[in-house]
Amino acid sequence: MAARGAKPKPNTAGPRRAAKTVPAGKREARSAERRDAILAAALEEFAVNGFAGTRLDDIAKRAKIAKGTIYLYFADKETLFQELLRAMFAPIVAALENIPQSDLPTRDIMERMIELFVRDVIGTRRKDVIRLIIAEGPRFPKLAEFHYREVLSRVMAAMGALMARAIARGEVKNPAYAKFPQLIAAPGLVAVVWSGLFERFAPLDVAAMMRAHLDIIFGERKAP
């Protein structure tokens, strides 16, 4: 207890500083950046090690974060992979579904699809993810189901509708192409598998192969 008459000691600590608060916009931006970093690291790990061989510890190490941080964004490895699929393929699916048709010949529309596929699938890590689904889908059926629902079924629907249009316009005679749009997509699957297994032995001109396939469907283009 201070003695009577003693003068109070002056406050030399100065005014307390208010705790710094990060604006909500910056917090959201940082959170989005961290989520993107996790997805980017996951892509590299899945592409190299496959789904079964990838560990969340390795993804966290590559992303330079604590493993527990991953669980703030993704419930488990399966959810992380599904979100990676959605992030990578949603733009491609949307582009295929929304290619303007107007009065363009169907073959011209298909030419645009080929350009999109070669540039944004064969030319990127998306082809590696497709190969992973092919290789590990039988062991992890939920992953195959997710890819079918979110990507493949929508692509097939877009292809089937496009070929039905071509048949109605008299551009294609065989109705099997509308009934089985897998026939249209088959060269793309060949290209994905070939690029992973045989590209170093026999490089494949994917665009040229797919245009040759269009010649089979529509007939060869007449010289101008």
Residues 21-33: tens digit of each pLDDT? 656 677 788 899 9
Which domains occur in the chain, in start order? 25-74 (1.10.10.60), 77-218 (1.10.357)
Distance of CA 126 to CAs 90, 135, 172, 196, Å?
11, 14, 31, 12
Question: pLDDT at residue 8 above 60?
Answer: no
Residues 39-63: tens digit of each pLDDT? 999 999 999 999 999 999 999 999 9
What is the identity of the amino acid at 21?
T
Q: Judge contact between 187 and 209, C-beta under 8 A.
A: yes
